[in-house]
Amino acid sequence: MATDPVVELVTACKALASRGCDTGIGGHVSLRDPGRDEFWINSFDRTLGEVTVNDVVKLDHNGINVLNDRAVSPGWEFHAGIYNQRPDVNAIVHTHGFWITALASLCRPLRMRHNLCTLFYNDQVMSPDDSFDSIGAAIGHASTIIIPWHGAITVGRSIGRAAALHATLEDMAKLDVTLDRSDAPELPEEARLPLRKLIDEVACYLEQTWELMIRQAERHNP
């Protein structure tokens, strides 16, 4: 049975909120409408944890709301731009999670201080701001974009993968920022790619994390 994309987007918003990525107005999650130059995205006037099916809008790639008259974040432009540039991307998450923002305020990528950090190995880039001119020039084939003094963006082939990657970034950013002024070593370079393949391709960590996030959201929103 096909999943209702609006329900799927609402689930992702609430799941991200349950993992600490909901620090106020401004986070946005989108889902591509396959075969159309359109995407669903949450409205601007609700936190992720507050989003319901009535708070989802649908935009074309020119920013025209084709579903209702709700306002959306000015950040819709980078969603449209990424979808145009990256046909492999079907979902995008942007938040100002506390630890993600703390990492972004250090103006550097995530350091490899835990095996789960390898999910971002050779797959994270820095963008000077959240304009698509900057993001489009930086993103390449990466799945994670860190925006200094702001937050981060994750993308994925599914909304579950993009959301789970984002929640993992929040967790690993907490560890990394906490250790920032220590001499904690990073994983050896030669261990990073094998660990990434084990965690992602063998253990299917992101898929398992997405299922966990759904369960956590259901407990928070019975």
Residues sharing a CB contact under 8 Å with residue 188, sequence separation 6 or more, in sequence order: none
Residue 15: pLDDT over 50: yes
Do the beta carbons of residue 88 and residue 139 sit within 8 Å? no
Do the beta carbons of residue 60 and residue 38 sit within 8 Å? yes
Maximum alpha-carbon separation in the chain: 52
Query: What confidence tier does 61 reach under pLDDT thresholds 50, 70, 90?
Result: very high
Task: Provide φ and ψ at 102, rounded to 5°.
Answer: -60, -45
Domains annotated on the chain, with CATH: 5-220 (3.40.225.10)
174: buried, middle or exposed (CB in 10 Å: 19+, 13-18, 0-12)?
A: middle
Q: What is the DSSP secondary-structure string of 157-209? A: SSHHHHHHHHHHHHHHHHHHHHTTTS-PPPPPHHHHHHHHHIIIIIS-HHHHH
Give the pLDDT score at 23.
81
pLDDT tens digits, residue range 155-204? Answer: 999 999 999 999 999 999 999 999 999 999 999 999 999 999 999 999 99
Amino acid at the residue 138: A
The rounded distance, in Å, linking the Cα atoms of 23 and 34 is 30
Give the pLDDT score at 1.
38
The closest alpha carbon to 16, from 95, 74, 102, belongs to: 95
Query: What confidence tier does 214 reach under pLDDT thresholds 50, 70, 90?
Result: very high
pTM of the full structure: 0.95
- Mean pLDDT throughout 41-46? 93
H helix intervals, 92-158: 98-105, 132-139
Mean pLDDT, all residues of the chain: 94
Q: How many CA atoms lie within 13 A of 6 on its CB side?
A: 11
The structure tokens listed for 103 are 């990492």
The structure tokens listed for 169 are 């970034």
Residues sharing a CB contact under 8 Å with residue 39, sequence separation 6 or more, in sequence order: 30, 31, 32, 33, 58, 59, 61, 79, 80, 83
